[in-house]
Structure 1
Amino acid sequence: MTYPPDRTAQFSTTAPPWPYCGHGADPAGSPIGCRGRRVAPHGECLAHLGDSHGADYLASLGPGSDLDHRGTSLTEDLLNRLLDAVRDPATQRPYLGAARFDTASFLGDAEFGGTHFRDEAGFEQAVFLGVARFAATEFGGDAQFERARFRGAQFREARFDGRAWFGEARFSEEARFDRARFAGYARFGLARFLNNAAFGGAQFLENIGFQGTRFGGHAWFHGARFERESRLGPLACAGSLDLSAVVFAAPAVIEAAAEKVWCIRTRWEATAVLRLRYATVDLGETVLAHPLSITAQPAPFTDRTGTDWSQGALDEGDLGGRDARVHMASLRGVDAAHLTLHDVDLTHCLLSGAVHLDQLRLEGECTLGLPPAGVLRHGRIPMRWTARQTLAEEHHWRAAQGYDGWTAASAGAPVPGPSALAPLYRHLRKSFEDGKNEPDSADFYYGEMEMRRHDLKRPRAECALLALYWAVSGYGLRASRALAWLLGAMAVTVLVMMLWGLPRADA
């Protein structure tokens, strides 16, 4: 987004609703000319005032003055002189009353850091060609940034006491809202962040709106706090949507098409619903005080009027066309008593350390991993694995033991042994049984017995008995194996009878 200094967005064929400057008007090219608001009693805007008139105007300002420079092109030097004119000598911070910079162009860096806007601050459709710095700025009234265009935006520790409007704003470089405080309604609907956006540690005290928002990079909300009922999305995030250490103090609905969703150590103090597409989700050590459901959204998100976001404002970008299934990465340290998963892939999900897995609700098509197919080897022993649902940790343990075809853990990751995996299988079996899914619960019974058989901490006699139980009948679950043993025993019996016959009874 670049404009020559003398041909900014203020030159247009449409006359603005305020008394405008008109400098540079050209009937053949730009009949309106400069759209900057006139500085009374002169006929020019601040950018085109003569030196003497400009100096007189700046000298007439003081702390708390109202400013109206809509449509004006402001260089970095001119903006600095304007803010110096309203600087409070007690605090050394610019202090403004009502400020209107709608459709203004800031041709260099805009240094508003530490400024106090007592009343409304209007920057609607403003264009920032340099870095816009609003760090530690206080907005006492509504802050209007709708359809503004930012190159880089710094709102660290900004304070919005009124409503904050960023709808349809565009951020071409990284946007920082770290530790910002939104006391009123915060609207980012249809905003577009072409790079990363950071809201780490931000406080949202009222309702928020992120409907149709697009993030071209990562969206960080790490450590943020949402005090009121929240609705994040539908939104699209090409990178990670980081909700780690976030506190949701009220009910929340999150709808996102994202590559990754991190909820590590997140606190859910009210009911919450996550509807996701494409995402790999990590819930490690999250705190659930109320029900939380995670659902895979099979179709693109639509708004309340039925408009297809993916074809309209919400573009899924590079995510589109991929497998939209949701994958769980970890439930470590989670109390699963309040958790419901619907149509979620658990193939690579780490469950060790989770509690109350017997109360975990799995609905729809929640798949787990399968053993490797075909005949593989363990050392010199050829093996064929029985098809069943398996945990990711069993894959890691068997790969560490040298079994071919099983998925190894990532480098440096802990690998729990059979004594830790057996209870996981037992709890999941109970969860399936409580859900009246006895056929699939049998796989977890098989996995539990397998882990007990390989647990070297158990007595040798028990392990030997389990090995015999496995060999004879597959823990009572493999009828073909039991039938084969039965037929074998019958064949041996018939052979013995044919060779030696029955003993004669004495006369």
Structure 2
Amino acid sequence: MPQGADDCSKLFCKAAKLPNSPRCLFHAASAAREEYFAGLRPGADMNHRGTAFSVALLQSLSSATGPRVGNVNFEGASFRGPANFSKFTFEGQANFSGAHFRHGVSFREVRFEEAVNFDGATFLQNDQSNDRHYMYTLADNFAANFTLARFVKEVTFRRADFGVLCVTVPHIGKWVSTWIGFNEVVFGGAVIFDGSTIKATLRGRGATFKDKALFRSCEFHGPVEFNDAKFEWGLHLEASMFKTGGTFKNAKIYNGFHVEGAWAPYDWPVDLKGGFYEHRMLGFGDDLRGGGDYRR
């Protein structure tokens, strides 16, 4: 800590200050951090807007609260290592808008009981300003993993950026891209991805959408996989681009399938085979092809 830096403003840091310190959690003195952690309880509200988190700092915070938190504000926070919120329960509103996940984040088996905001967040597997050539265990090669998560109310990902990292597997030379996992997720409220850029493979096998699913004006650079998914209140893909196609095999879509202006290249169509669509597809074009059961 620089000499004389008695608050974060002198460190050009605009992060939220701790209640017991003029500094944020990242810049606070060890004694202030320990005092803050000691006062946390399961279900606690937290404001760490704009805070930088190392792996160790996030682990210390998680240990202090346990896997149950209240209203949390991580707006603009920067997670400098792999972030793990697996099996957490967010009892209040969760704000991750503008957050930056540099080395992936796991929300596997998480339960969000109130509204969740990921607007403008960035999800990367590794800091892409550095060397792109790494070796991974492919099962862990995710930028964001929400597998088996439960969202009780609305979740928004407006203008979020899900980055891709292409890696070379040594001795094989195969390029592998990162993935975003929504397999078996249950969305109880509306899901809004409008305007997002998704460069990784998007996996949503068996996901259930109990309210509107809005993926309007999105750019999907990697494959999109929603096989066996269920959309109970419509699926909106208007003006979205599927640059490497996708699959919605055996998906069930009720109350409208909207694809006006959506586009997929001829060689990479969106496969809709075996699907059930309660109402006719609106804007169904030659580039989005399939053989599903269409019912009006």
Q: Identify the TM-score tier after normalising by the shorter chain.
A: 0.7 to 0.9
Structure 2: runs of 5+ lacking an equivalent: 2-6, 125-142, 165-178
1:147 correspondence with 2:147 = no
Q: Deviations along 1:459-507, whole A, 9 cap, x unmatched? A: xxxxxxxxxxxxxxxxxxxxxxxxxxxxxxxxxxxxxxxxxxxxxxxxx
Structure 1: runs of 5+ lacking an equivalent: 1-5, 7-19, 25-32, 88-93, 291-507
The aligned residue for residue 97 of structure 2 is 124
Shift of 1:274: 4.0
SS at match of 1:52: helix
The aligned residue for residue 242 of structure 2 is 237
* Structure holding more helix per residue: 1
Q: Which structure is richer in relative contact order (CA contacts within 8 A, separation 6 or more)?
A: 2
TM-score (norm 2): 0.82
The aligned residue for residue 42 of structure 1 is 21
The aligned residue for residue 138 of structure 1 is 111
Shift of 1:272: 2.3
Letter in 1 for 2:294: L
The aligned residue for residue 4 of structure 2 is none
Of the candidates 217, 226, 229, which is equivalent to residue 224 of structure 1?
229
Change in CA separation of 1:219 and 1:228 when aligned onto 2, cut-off 3 Å: same
The aligned residue for residue 257 of structure 1 is 263
Q: Distance in 2 between matches of 1:142 and 1:51?
A: 33
Q: Distance in 1 between matches of 2:241 and 2:20?
A: 49
When the two structures are aligned, how many residues end up with a matched partner?
255
Shift of 1:229: 3.0
The aligned residue for residue 192 of structure 2 is 187
The aligned residue for residue 21 of structure 1 is 8
Of 254-263 and 57-66, the range deviating more from structure 2:
254-263
The aligned residue for residue 85 of structure 2 is 112
Question: Between Structure 1 and Structure 2, whose CA radius of gyration is higher?
Answer: 1
Runs of 4+ in 1 over 6 A off after TM superposition: none
Shift of 1:280: 6.1
The aligned residue for residue 438 of structure 1 is none
Of the candidates 151, 158, 166, which is equivalent to residue 160 of structure 1?
151
Shift of 1:198: 1.2
Q: CA RMSD in A?
A: 1.6
Q: Distance in 2 between matches of 1:170 and 1:181?
A: 22
Q: Distance in 1 between matches of 2:264 and 2:227?
A: 16
Q: Distance in 2 between matches of 1:23 and 1:123?
A: 26
Kept after mapping to 1: 8 A contact 2:82/2:102: yes
The aligned residue for residue 275 of structure 2 is 266
Shift of 1:207: 1.2
Letter in 1 for 2:239: P
Report the identity percentage. 26
Q: Distance in 2 between matches of 1:191 and 1:163?
A: 17
Kept after mapping to 2: 8 A contact 1:111/1:133: yes
TM-score (norm 1): 0.49
